[in-house]
Amino acid sequence: MAKKWILSFIGLFIVLTFLFPIYWMVISSIKPAGDIFGDSSIIPKRITFEAYINIFNQQDIRVLSYFKNSLIISFGAMIGTLCLATPAAYAIARRKIKGITLFLLFVLITQMFPSNMLALPLYSMFANIGLLNTYTGVIIANMTLSIPFAILVMRTYFLMIPTALEEAAAIDGCTRWGTFFKIILPLAKPGVFTAGAFSFLLAWGEFLYSLTMLKNNDLWPVTLGMRQFVGQYSTNWSELMALSVVSSLPIIIIFIFTQRYIVSGITAGSTK
Amino acid sequence: MVKQSEFKRIIEKSKDYTFLMPASLFLLLFLVYPIFFNLNLSFRDVNVGNLIQGERELVGLSNYVTVLKDPLFVKALANSIVFTVGTIIFSTCIGFMLALYFNKPFPGNKWMRSILLIAWMTPIIIIGTVFRWMLSGENGIINEILMNIGILSQPNYWLTDTNTALFSVIITNIWISIPFSMVIILSGLQALPGNIYEAAKIDGANRFQQFFYITLPLMKPTLLVLLMLGVIFTFKVFDLIYIMTAGGPADATQVIPFLAYQLSFGMYRFGEGAALSNISFIIIGLFALVYLYFIRREEVM
């Protein structure tokens, strides 16, 4: 029994050492401006939340606006992905259709495309149809990343639902879409939940498409806004770290509540 | 009568397709079409004037020739290979060790291994910024630690020194990739049959023998999948380079995806940018084919 607790103790030590950069991000954000260059001790001597107050009071850098934009883009990408990928994943899991293996293979190949390969043509296309500098454009670009992944993740959950349920529903006169909404979806909730969380997290961290498509800084998400804190000559590290903490907070909160699903989602989406 | 039931069957079948249709149309329009459009652009002279509208002159393979002849391409390719191989080797080895450790039954092991994933889930732009601060030449914590234990005598400017910049970026990327490798390897370990180990113990195999003669060979399929995913993900890393070094200093960290971005959106040589992104797809694709070939051979054996 004692041996097990020693293992736990060493495990905790490994976790803390490995996550030191996260710890250092938080610590650097609550050190007074004078200590950030003077005091390099691992445990800070003085603590202040000045940097957090400062980042929200900047005139030219509007943190709240970046946050709002990140939320709009991430929620948009999540909802769009779920609407399109859920029925597709269901169809693929049931394999009644010709060409389904081809579609699955295609979905796998899409994961090999470098984002650059899409950034340029999408830029040109969106310029022509007026989607540059819009949330919709970036949401669509994000969905090209998350739909294939969401399909792969949800497929494994749909495969676990016995077909007998659908057969019974069909006998009772339920239509295919009726069965899908009333019987299948409630059973596949964890899968939909996982795919949704992934789409949200992917979109929150996405950078290249926002960088190329959003010239108007009113629309910038936090990932783009952060660049403004890296000064040309000197960087205000405590404010930049405070912004990093605030920007990763939604990720960490979502992660803590969904970690069980995230772990199974990673293995389902990449190895099955 | 037969005809009618056949007709009914087709109607029923077509209802199946309504599930697939929305996603298929979306991907055709915003994924497949752009890929071909990109291919088209790579054979044309594309500049600021005609990227959005207007005639684009066909120039054959000249964009590809220009890109391949550029010494910067060779440098970026070499860096990309070092970046990818370095990341994969170390993140797989360390990930394997962590997986073996956290696979042991002890209180809190599940919670601990999933909390490590924070490193992988946090946006790369944020991680890149944090590491930039830690690796800073002025009061960066890495320098402070190394100077305290006597490895360094004076601060090193990790990211602006041409000798250490690529190394520093690779270290950061290894840190990001470790938890992902660990989770994939753990899922493989958990699928291993336990009774083999019982048998090996009875036969007197020690821990190292068990690892090298049982675990490693059985884990080969998992490791191959991980290798494949590693190459696909690592070869296209863009944000980390952008935020940490922007390819510098003196192109010491220039990699293929960042060069492709610079050609298109920095120098407005869109045709060449398109050509380079196609070349990088071909490189990843060739690797995938070699991988599939080995997988097939494995299955036949």
Q: What is the mean pLDDT of residues A135-149?
A: 93
Residue B88 lies in a domain: yes
Of residues B19, B34, B124, nearest to A125 (C-beta): B34
Of residues A4, A151, A262, nearest to B117 (C-beta): A262
Cβ contact B274–A252 (<8 Å)? no
Confidence of residue A190 (pLDDT cuts 50, 70, 90): confident
Q: pLDDT digits over B85-137, tens only?
A: 999 999 999 999 999 999 988 888 888 988 999 999 999 999 999 999 999 88
Residue B279 lies in a domain: yes
Amino acid A231: pLDDT: 62
CATH for B277: 1.10.3720.10
Confidence of residue A97 (pLDDT cuts 50, 70, 90): low
Cβ contact A223–B108 (<8 Å)? no
Residue B43 lies in a domain: no
Of residues A36, A212, A259, nearest to B265 (C-beta): A212
Going from N- to C-terminal start, the domains of chain A cover 63-223+239-271
Q: pLDDT digits over A25-67, tens only?
A: 999 999 887 777 766 777 887 888 888 888 888 777 788 899 9
Q: pLDDT digits over A1-23, tens only?
A: 678 889 999 999 999 999 999 99
Domain A63-223+239-271's class? mainly alpha
* Chain A contact present for B212, CB below 8 A: no
User: Which residue segment(s) compose the domain that B186 sits in?
Assistant: 64-126+177-300
Residue B25 lies in a domain: no
Residue B10 confidence (pLDDT) above 80? no
Q: What is the mean pLDDT of residues A187-191?
A: 87
Q: pLDDT digits over B193-212, tens only?
A: 878 888 888 888 888 888 88
Domain count, chain B: 1
* Chain B contact present for A240, CB below 8 A: yes
In percent, the amount of chain B with pLDDT more than 70 equals 97
Please report the ipTM that was assigned to this predicted complex: 0.90
Residue B42 lies in a domain: no
Q: What is the mean pLDDT of residues A249-257?
A: 87
Amino acid B300: pLDDT: 59
Instruction: Please name the residue of chain A whose CA is at the shortest distance from the CA of residue B135.
Output: A21
Supply φ then ψ for residue B57, to 5 degrees. Answer: -70, 135
Interface size A-B, in CB pairs within 8 Å, comes to 262
Residue A232 confidence (pLDDT) above 70? no
Residue B15 lies in a domain: no
